[in-house]
């Protein structure tokens, strides 16, 4: 009776491990974007941490990002290409450790794609201009959209309102 349980546990571990390895080797988005640079060009343009998150789909540690508790008025832009992504008036404190927004500047500014890495099903958010990984979007946000764009600070720059 214990043998099927052990086989089931081993199979689960194997599948999760394969998903993890697949995620860590996936570097580029599967969508075409206007701005296309080589890996070498991205590495020259971005810091190692920015490259890891924006190009390798990494995640910064929660509550460590510059914009988690940042409340100035202005526009959040893609750190890789400068495209406008989110307005400060759509930012809210979701207490999740990452900057959270309930909508993007314009639906055409972000790409949403199914993400099944790490044994979870989520929706990845990428910059529509350069394909940079921004974070994920969830359906547990506030009105009026009910969305929570959970975004890595390292993926963002900020233009203060004048």
Give tens-digit pLDDT for 124-150.
999 999 999 999 999 999 999 999 999
Q: How far apart are CA 12 and CA 60, in angstroms?
A: 27
Q: How far apart are CA 64 and CA 4, in angstroms?
A: 43
pLDDT at 27 over 60: no
Percent of the chain exceeding pLDDT 70 equals 81
Find the CATH number of the domain harbouring 90. 2.170.150.20
Parent domain of 145: 2-160
Given 78, 127, 130, 150, the catalytic residue: 150
Question: What is the DSSP annotation of 113-148?
Answer: EEE-GGG--EEEEEETTT--EEEEEES---TTT--E
Q: What pTM was estimated for this model as a whole? A: 0.80
Number of domains in the chain: 1
Say whether 8 is catalytic. Answer: no
């Amino acid at each position: 009776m214990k043998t099927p349980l052990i086989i089931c546990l081993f199979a689960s571990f194997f599948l999760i491990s394969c998903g993890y390895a697949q995620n860590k080797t996936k570097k580029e988005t599967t969508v075409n974007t206007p701005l296309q640079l080589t890996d070498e060009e991205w590495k020259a343009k971005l810091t190692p941490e920015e490259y890891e998150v924006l190009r390798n789909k990494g995640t910064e540690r929660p509550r460590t990002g510059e914009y988690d508790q940042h409340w100035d008025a202005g526009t959040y832009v893609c750190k890789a290409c400068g495209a406008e992504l989110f307005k400060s008036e759509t930012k809210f404190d979701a207490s999740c450790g990452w900057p959270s927004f309930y909508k993007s500047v314009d639906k055409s500014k972000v790409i949403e794609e199914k993400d099944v890495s790490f044994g979870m099903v989520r929706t990845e958010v990428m910059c529509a201009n350069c394909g940079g990984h921004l974070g994920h979007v969830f359906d547990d946000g506030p009105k009026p959209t009910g969305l929570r764009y959970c975004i890595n600070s390292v993926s963002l720059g900020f233009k203060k309102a004048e």
